[in-house]
Amino acid sequence: MHKSFHSKYYEAILQLRPKDEKLIDFVLDECEKNDIYISKVVEHKTGVDIFVSSQKFAVALITRLKKKFKGKPKITRSLFKTQRQTSKKVYRVTVLFKLNHIITEEDA
């Protein structure tokens, strides 16, 4: 059971390029298996952005995506805020996975 988050909470963005149903289904199944909260899914002309509640999950998912699909990952982070009490910097992670080619029935 995942923690209770407000509806717009996220720690990481999974960017999947180009739009491919098998890739998206794989990521959504992994989120469900690991009980990861998805706050938003945004569809673009070039792909999909999935906003998830766990940075660790997003970074770990890259190794599973590289094993299953042929593509290039890229991980970036940006400063989100500095905590007032501890002065600790809080980052949000963006994980881009770009497929080399769209998966066809013969590849599966």
Average pLDDT over residues 91-108: 77
Asked, for residue 40, whether it belongs to a domain, the answer is: yes
Burial class (CB within 10 angstroms; exposed 0-12, middle 13-18, buried 19+) of 107:
exposed
Structural domain includes residue 108: no
Distance, CA of 103 to CA of 89 (rounded, Å): 39
Q: Can you tell me the mean pLDDT for 63-70?
A: 92
Q: Which residue range forms the structural domain that includes residue 44?
A: 12-99
Q: What pLDDT does residue 75 have?
A: 95
How many independent structural domains does the chain possess?
Answer: 1
Report pTM. 0.84
Whether 106 has a pLDDT exceeding 60, the answer reads no
